[in-house]
């Protein structure tokens, strides 16, 4: 028994080291999903951002396969947002480059259109898949907003350029000619608005609510699908105790004034809005908040770790934590009150199926056994009709995800890594 306990402890410590080393970009340090995207016009094709690359499903979410970060080539700049065009091309902005895959995720190439500028944000027209926008955000340089009318094949700068970091561009779904762009330079916050697809721009000087005079890092989150004058952004600020406060702000007058709707110390991930604009969801590293018109924003019972949110029609998709409540993706048809689990990191089906000679095939395949061991996933997929003898219980995977006590330790690890992250930020 003593030897067994020592082996279990050693395996847990080994897994902890692997998770810490391999999961720099996860929500709080653990390997997790961090975004959800479906292909325009082909909802059976789905994609999730992942700590170590990307996960892709081509069968309506029945199975998910891995595209490793090494094959994508983004280094220490993990993608924040993806666009999957109806043509099949996938684009993502990493904060440094605009990556594009023309073969469904098997090969990724960085765009050469932006030279030394860093691509900080990517947005698409709600109905015209050929119309895209890209913002750049390299400090101490003049940054621009670019527009493409051919699905990202070519890019033309709009008239907006500033020596400021452009943090996010958003298109108003109700009036796609309306664009918003956020940015900052030091403690100077910028918000710009265009009513003609970026031909002309209006500066919107910002006066923040009381207590946020020293706020920094302004970033647009969303624009209401029902009203182009309603938008949400977030800022960061210091608490009296020296921590970081993340505040969600709302504007009902096209960005001229902002009021606080949610303030807490859990880092923000993203947000989404119902089709009628009356319900909002805000995802943080550990919770998903819901706010209905006329009510305060309150945390939902799930997910309780590693949240992200995406609305598609009347369905809500959310990231979650395999290590805390067993699923990494779930959907809800009642605005987040209840969830149907769709995917756990332990249910990986291996490496994305790509032809020989492609980066995914050559680079990801040899890395898969180690990742499977860390996640507690089978190294080789079990046939769907395979079973076990009557009465026999299949053994649990002997990986990091299956290490005794790993689920209970996840919140502790999460809090430790978050504190380390905040200390590094300070």
Low-confidence ranges of the chain (pLDDT < 50): 1-28, 382-426
pTM, 2 dp: 0.83
Write down the pLDDT at residue 210: 80
Give the residue carrying structure tokens 């395996």: 11
Write down the pLDDT at residue 380: 58
- Cβ atoms of 255 and 193 closer than 8 Å: yes
The total domain count for the chain is 1
Residue at 124 is within a domain = yes
Residue at 284 is within a domain = no
Residue at 393 is within a domain = no
How far apart CA 1 and CA 290 sit, in angstroms, is 47
Residue at 331 is within a domain = no
Write down the pLDDT at residue 143: 96
Residue at 342 is within a domain = no
Summarised one tens digit per residue, pLDDT across range 294-314 is 899 999 999 999 999 999 999
Write down the pLDDT at residue 411: 43
- Cβ atoms of 212 and 260 closer than 8 Å: yes
Write down the pLDDT at residue 96: 93
Residue at 74 is within a domain = no
Write down the pLDDT at residue 187: 84
Summarised one tens digit per residue, pLDDT across range 38-82 is 999 999 999 999 999 999 999 999 999 999 999 999 988 889 889
Write down the pLDDT at residue 29: 57
Q: Which domain holds residue 248?
A: 111-265
| DSSP code per residue over 8-48 | HHHHHHHHHHHHHHH-TTSGGGS--EEEEEEETTEEEEEEE
CATH of the domain at 163: 2.130.10.10
Residue at 177 is within a domain = yes
> How would you label 14-50 residue by residue, b for 16+ Cβ within 10 Å and e otherwise?
ebbebbeebbebbbbbbbbbbbbbbbbeeeebbbbbb
Tokens of residue 1, six digits: 């028994």
Residue at 413 is within a domain = no
261's CB contacts (< 8 A; 6+ apart) are 232, 248, 249, 250, 280, 291, 297
């Amino acid at each position: 028994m003593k030897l067994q306990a020592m082996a279990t402890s050693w395996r847990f410590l080994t897994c902890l080291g692997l998770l810490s080393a391999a999961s720099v970009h996860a929500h709080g340090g653990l390997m997790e999903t961090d975004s959800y995207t479906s292909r325009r016009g082909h909802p059976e094709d789905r994609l999730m951002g992942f700590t170590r690359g990307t996960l892709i499903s081509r069968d309506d979410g029945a199975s998910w396969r891995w595209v490793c970060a090494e094959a994508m080539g983004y280094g220490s700049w993990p993608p924040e947002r993806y666009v999957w065009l109806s043509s099949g091309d996938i684009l993502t902005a990493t904060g440094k480059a605009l990556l594009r895959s023309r073969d469904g995720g098997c090969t990724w190439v960085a765009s050469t259109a932006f030279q030394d500028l860093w691509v900080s944000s990517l947005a698409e027209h709600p109905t015209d898949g050929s119309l895209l926008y890209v913002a750049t955000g390299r400090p101490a340089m003049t940054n621009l907003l670019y527009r493409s009318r051919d699905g990202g094949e070519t890019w033309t700068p709009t008239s907006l350029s500033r020596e400021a970091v452009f943090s996010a561009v958003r298109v108003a779904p109700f009036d796609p000619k309306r664009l918003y762009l956020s940015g900052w330079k030091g403690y100077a916050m910028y918000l710009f608005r265009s009513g003609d697809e970026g031909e002309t721009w209006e500066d919107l000087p910002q006066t923040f609510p009381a207590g946020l005079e020293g706020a920094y890092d302004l970033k647009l989150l969303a624009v209401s699908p029902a009203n182009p004058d309603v938008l949400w952004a977030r800022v960061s600020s210091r608490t009296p105790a020296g921590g970081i406060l993340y505040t969600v702000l709302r504007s009902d007058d096209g960005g001229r004034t902002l009021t606080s709707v949610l303030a807490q110390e859990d880092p923000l991930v993203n947000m989404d809005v119902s089709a009628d604009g009356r319900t909002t969801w805000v995802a943080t590293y550990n919770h998903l908040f819901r706010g209905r018109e006329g009510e305060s924003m309150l945390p939902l019972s799930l997910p309780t770790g590693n949240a992200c949110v995406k609305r598609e029609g009347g369905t809500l998709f959310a990231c979650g934590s395999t290590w805390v409540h067993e699923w990494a993706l779930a959907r809800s048809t009642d605005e987040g009150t209840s969830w149907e689990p769709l995917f756990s990191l332990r249910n990986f089906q291996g490496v994305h199926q790509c032809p020989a000679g492609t980066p995914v095939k050559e680079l990801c395949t040899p890395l898969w056994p180690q990742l499977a061991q860390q996640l507690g996933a089978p190294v080789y997929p079990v046939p769907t009709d395979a079973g076990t003898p009557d009465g026999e219980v299949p053994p649990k995977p002997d990986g990091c995800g299956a290490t005794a006590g790993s689920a209970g330790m996840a919140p502790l690890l999460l809090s430790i890594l978050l504190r380390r992250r905040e200390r590094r930020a300070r």
